[in-house]
């Protein structure tokens, strides 16, 4: 027997256990996790003494904008950024141009992204109401990880780009869908058994409240939240829960930002409904008052809310309401983000800073290393049904590993980021706990911050329907 790799003397971390062991890799798969010395030649021996070896981290929410506005980002850059940041699999959002709205575009996107990928990737499918209702089952057959619905967003009719500042009456726009049509989308997706994941902000309320703010000339961060408050999220979350109860769909709330939303979601979970929720670093590490120092870079939708919301979100990370943490990597150029808070687009880079930020929270004792394995690897893999290959260290699964040095201290620095755009809210943020090696199917794609063996990422389609993941 010849081994492709051995990761030696590391501390292995799973969602449940922490123990010293060596990991043997063969043909891109985990062959053994053992304290015994196995016979056979070893092509590459990796000394992980003093390091922690995690199942490869997964980022289920990235917008590489490819094909589409690739002047902001593309898949080559976003997956190199992923590799640099310890992420072994990304899930690419479907609002590209063309979008992943039918089976033919799924195939096109598969080929287009695989040619550029440095880490493995799954594809989201988009729900566009009556515009693609016949394409939902075929997209499921092709292997989308889940379906995304931008609830409360208008999208451009030709480019499918999100309208960050939509006003009724704008031309060439697919306006936000009405509740009846949302209900039909849920019925349709329920038939596939896949997750129906929603951006949750109520556009009617946002129109009214932003109208009020604009009328009084409000331009501050508090004004931004006044136009898109907690209630905008809560209304959609609650409507989603009630429609999910009626349709049986597995509802997933994307990037939750408000504590009150989590109360509703937790209550729905306690009822036994198949409802899950994720959050992102900006809702865990930032709050409204940070705007004074960070500025418009931190504008995201839904907006980052109060410190009280942030603390409530942490509680629901700790108690298992929140299934996983992902980045909502949504780059815009420096120039685009350098305008008035009101007019600039929402979103920033995130795929490369996700794991360092979450590891830093573990260093600070907010969560355990086992929680990190649960929130960045095991749960996302189970939720979307790729856990037969991803997210664990079970022998026979892909040898996707993230090796972490919990003693390494360094600030996040924008100039070190690998994305096309370097817009981040975390420039200068001190982090203790950094990924130092990223391994995808046995290939080392990052070592000590340097990229290696790039360009070999592959599509991963679900092996099962996935599990509703909540609770501890």
Which residues are at the interface with Zn ion (CB under 5 A)? Answer: 328
Q: How far is the CB of 214 from ligand DOR (least distance, A)?
A: 20
> Could you report how far apart the first and last alpha carbons of the chain are, in Å?
39
Residue ranges binding ligand DOR (CB under 6 A)? 63, 162, 199, 300-301, 330, 345-347
93 DSSP 8-state letter: -
Q: How far is the CB of 7 from ligand DOR (least distance, A)?
A: 36
**Given the complex with ligand DOR, which of 199 and 250 has the nearer CB atom?**
199
Helix (H) or strand (E) holding 442: none
62 binds, among Zn ion, ligand DOR, none (CB under 5 to 8 A by kind): none
258 binds, among Zn ion, ligand DOR, none (CB under 5 to 8 A by kind): none
Q: Which is nearer to ligand DOR, 86 or 345 (CB)?
A: 345
Gap between the Cα atoms of 161 and 318, Å rounded: 35
Q: Report the candidate in 247, 255, 248, 192 with the shortest Cα–Cα distance to residue 385.
A: 192
Q: Which residue has the tokens 């120092």?
A: 293
Going by the DSSP 8-state scheme, the letter that residue 398 receives in this structure is B
Least separation in angstroms between CB 26 and Zn ion: 37
Residue 13 or 146 with smaller CB distance to ligand DOR: 146
Which of ligand DOR, Zn ion, none does residue 162 bind (CB under 5 to 8 Å by kind)? Answer: ligand DOR
**What is the three-class DSSP state of 226?**
helix
Return the SS3 of 364: coil
CB of 343 to ligand DOR, least distance (A): 14
Torsion angle defined by CA atoms of residues 198, 200, 203 and 207, in that order, rounded to the nearest 10 degrees: -150
- For residue 271 the two structure tokens come to 């009822």
Nearer to ligand DOR, 232 or 330 (CB): 330
CB 300 to ligand DOR: min, Å: 4
Compare residues 198 and 439 and give the one whose CB is closer to Zn ion: 198
Residue 324: name its binding partner from Zn ion, ligand DOR, none (Cβ under 5 to 8 Å by kind): none
Q: Residue 164: phi, psi to the nearest 5?
A: -75, -25
Distance CA 304, CA 324 (A): 18
- Residue nearest Zn ion, Cβ-based: 328
Residue nearest to ligand DOR (CB): 347
The kind and range of the H/E element at 412 are none
Of 322, 321, 290, which Cα lies nearest the Cα of 303?
290
Q: How far is the CB of 199 from ligand DOR (least distance, A)?
A: 5
Q: Which of Zn ion, ligand DOR, none has residue 233 at its interface (CB below 5 to 8 Å by kind)?
A: none
Query: 330 or 351: whose CB is closer to ligand DOR?
Result: 330
Closest separation in Å from C-beta 267 to Zn ion: 25
Other Cβ atoms closer than 10 A to 450: 8
Three-class DSSP category at 129: helix
Q: Which is nearer to ligand DOR, 225 or 440 (CB)?
A: 225
Cα 306–Cα 308–Cα 311 angle in degrees, nearest 5: 115
Question: Which does residue 418 bind out of ligand DOR, Zn ion, none, counting CB within 5 to 8 angstroms by kind?
Answer: none
CB of 65 to ligand DOR, least distance (A): 7
55-90 exposure pattern, b = at least 16 Cβ within 10 A, e = fewer = bbbbbbbbbbbbbbbbebbbbbbbbbbbbbbbbbbb
Q: Closer to ligand DOR at the Cβ: 133 or 336?
A: 336
Helix locations, 64-114, DSSP H: 75-84, 103-114
E strand residue ranges, 257-396? 275-279, 324-325
What tokens appear for 144 in the block? 């989308």
Neighbours of 181 (CB within 10 A): 16
How far is the C-alpha of 4 from the C-alpha of 390, rounded, in Å?
A: 19
* Side-chain-side CA neighbours of residue 30 (13 Å): 28
Question: What is the closest distance, in whole angstroms, from the C-beta atom of residue 453 to ligand DOR in the complex?
Answer: 29
**Residue 350's binding partner out of Zn ion, ligand DOR, none, with CB under 5 to 8 Å set by partner kind:** none
Compute the least distance from the CB of residue 162 to ligand DOR, in Å: 6
Please report, to the nearest 10 degrees, the dihedral formed by the alpha carbons of residues 435, 437, 438, 444 taken in order. Answer: 170
Closer residue to ligand DOR in complex, CB, 190/354: 354
**Minimal distance, residue 6 CB to ligand DOR, in Å:** 41
Which CB, 255 or 390, lies closer to ligand DOR? 255
Nearest CB to ligand DOR, comparing residues 54 and 285: 285
Task: Outline where 319-433 has alpha helix (H).
Answer: 334-337, 354-363, 369-373, 379-383
Radius of gyration of the chain (CA): 21
């Amino acid at each position: 027997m010849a081994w492709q790799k051995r990761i030696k003397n590391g501390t292995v971390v799973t969602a449940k256990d922490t123990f010293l062991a060596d990991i043997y890799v063969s043909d891109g798969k985990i062959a053994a996790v053992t304290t015994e010395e196995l016979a056979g030649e070893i092509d590459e021996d990796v000394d992980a003494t003093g390091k922690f070896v995690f199942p490869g981290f997964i980022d289920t929410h990235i917008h590489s904008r490819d094909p589409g506005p690739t002047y902001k980002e593309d898949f080559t850059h976003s997956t190199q950024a992923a590799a640099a940041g310890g992420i072994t699999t990304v899930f690419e959002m479907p609002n590209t141009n063309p979008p992943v709205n039918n089976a033919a575009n799924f195939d096109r996107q598969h080929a287009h992204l695989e040619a550029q990928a440095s880490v493995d990737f799954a594809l989201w499918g988009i729900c566009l109401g009556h515009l693609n209702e016949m394409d939902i089952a075929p997209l499921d057959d092709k292997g989308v990880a889940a379906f995304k619905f931008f609830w409360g967003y208008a999208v451009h009719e030709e480019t499918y780009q999100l309208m960050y500042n939509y006003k009724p009456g704008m031309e060439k726009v697919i306006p936000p869908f009405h509740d009846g049509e949302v209900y039909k989308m849920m019925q349709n997706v329920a038939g596939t058994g896949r997750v129906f994941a929603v951006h949750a902000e109520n556009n009617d309320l946002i129109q009214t409240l932003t109208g009020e703010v604009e009328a009084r000339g409000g331009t501050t961060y508090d004004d931004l939240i006044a136009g898109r408050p907690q209630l905008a999220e809560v209304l959609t979350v609650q409507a989603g829960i009630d429609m999910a109860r009626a349709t049986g769909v597995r509802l997933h709330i994307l990037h939750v930002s408000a504590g009150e939303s989590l109360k509703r979601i937790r209550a729905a979970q306690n009822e036994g409904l198949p409802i899950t929720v994720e959050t992102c670093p900006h809702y865990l590490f930032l709050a409204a008052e940070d705007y004074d120092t960070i500025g418009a870079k931190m504008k995201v939708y839904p907006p980052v809310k109060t410190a009280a919301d942030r603390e409530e979100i942490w509680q629901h990370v700790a108690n298992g309401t929140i299934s996983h943490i992902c980045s909502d990597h949504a780059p815009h150029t420096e120039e685009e983000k350098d305008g008035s808070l009101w007019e600039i687009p929402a979103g920033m880079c995130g795929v490369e800073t996700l794991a360092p930020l979450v590891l830093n929270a573990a260093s600070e004792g907010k969560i355990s290393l086992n929680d990190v394995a649960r929130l960045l690897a095991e749960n996302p893999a189970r939720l979307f049904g790729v856990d037969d290959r991803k997210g664990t260290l079970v022998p026979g699964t892909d040898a996707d590993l993230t090796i972490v040095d919990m003693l390494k201290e360094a600030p996040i620095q924008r100039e070190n980021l690998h994305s096309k755009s370097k817009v981040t809210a975390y420039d200068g943020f001190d982090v203790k706990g950094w990924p130092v090696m990223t391994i995808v199917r046995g290939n080392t794609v990052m070592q000590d911050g340097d990229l290696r063996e790039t360009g070999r990422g592959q599509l991963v389609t679900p092996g099962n329907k996935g599990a509703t993941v909540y609770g501890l």
